Amino acid sequence: MTGKNSPNVVVLDYGSGNVHSAVKALEAAGATVELTGSRARAMEADGLVVPGVGAFSAVMDQLNKNRSAEIIDRRLAGGRKVLGICVGMQVLFEHGVERGIETEGLGEWPGAVTELDSPVLPHMGWNTVDAPKESVLFAGLRDERFYFLHSYAAQQWTLEATHPFPEPRVTWSEHGTRFIAAVENGPLSATQFHPEKSGEAGIRLLRNWIGTLPND
């Protein structure tokens, strides 16, 4: 359901695939959604969603090529909400290491994205998460499962709270080893799983995020 009073969300179109399912899920969650690479529209929106599929290096190449990395940085500097999904979450860290190749990320959070230590990769399918009780994203979703599709993830969290933002809320999951499944850090949130592929639980999570938007 959408309407004139619905928060406006831009899904950033920078060349990543599989973006239309994210648009549909956000609309189902109650947002007015626009898929665009427009710098102006991305800056003006109440919320910005950064999707991502494929390799860390390929996503970073596209973000840098289209100067989309600047959009993300400028929004966050102004305290405006951003949500990263899957590789759109991974690139928020300092580095990604895939098949021995290290790629510089956006550096919003310290740490590296590395291969999961599991006999079965990719991690594909439904899994539970361990969210902190203060989580806004996972409010009412404590026992739900979410859909993952990845072989790499951030597996450590070292960022401490900095004024004026509250303590980062980090959600974990496990596939062979423990990894970060979601982060809520001031205006910046992200999920390693795909809420747009996670059925009603994913829609409710997106609705929780949309509920934090200013609705200018």
Residues noted as catalytic: 86, 194, 196
Q: How far apart are the first and last CA of the chain?
A: 18
Peptide bond into 7 cis (omega under 30): no
CA distance 86 to 180: 11
| Contact call for residues 66 and 7 (beta carbons, < 8 A) | no
Between the CA atoms of 18, 23, 26 and 28, what dihedral angle is there, to the nearest 10 degrees? -110
Q: 59 by DSSP, 3-state: which?
A: helix
Cis before 195? omega within 30:
no
